[in-house]
Amino acid sequence: MTARGDFIERFGGVFEHSPVIAERAYDGGLIFVPLTAKGVHAAMVQVFRNAGRDERLTILRSHPDLAGKLAIAGELTEGSRKEQAGAGLDRLSPAEHARFTALNTAYTEKFGFPFIIAVKGLTKDDILAAFEARVGNDAEAEFETATAQVERIALLRLLALLPEA
């Protein structure tokens, strides 16, 4: 496998179901050795921000609902599964699950993409509070917030794979 192939295999999932971000960062000459979380993140964020709005929206839509159908069916990516489990979203009471489901539905209907939040270090109560606050945002503010959260998730995933600096 080429160095490009190794890079894409290792980092293609950092942006959920979007290996194109890793491909463009590598092909654009934005990746430098030694690989660091901050360096790879900066390159990938540059690519993500340079993508058109429709492409960024597609990436937002590739994220799973929190505690949603994919989680119940066991069909989350490994990264999403670990992140959601770490926040306790795999251990919700029936009432909590119903609240998440209602918020997921309302949010997705309003914004056209799932609620996205970097859950590392947050509790289910923290996540619910953010969910309830953000569902009241206007569409542009929430698109920007969700985009920033995708970038934060990418950084956290890279920090698990590489030295920080």
**CATH numbers and ranges of domains, the chain:** 3-57 (no CATH), 64-151 (1.10.3330.10)
Percent of the chain scored above 70 by pLDDT?
89
Q: Answer whether residue 2 shows pLDDT above 90.
A: no
CB count within 10 Å of CB 28 equals 12
The per-residue pLDDT for 74 is 54
pLDDT single digits (tens) 40-93:
999 999 999 999 999 999 999 998 777 655 455 455 567 666 777 777 777 888
How far apart CA 88 and CA 71 sit, in angstroms, is: 12
pLDDT single digits (tens) 89-138:
778 888 988 898 899 999 999 999 999 999 889 988 999 999 999 999 99
pTM for the model stands at 0.87
Active-site positions read 63
How far apart CA 37 and CA 165 sit, in angstroms, is: 6
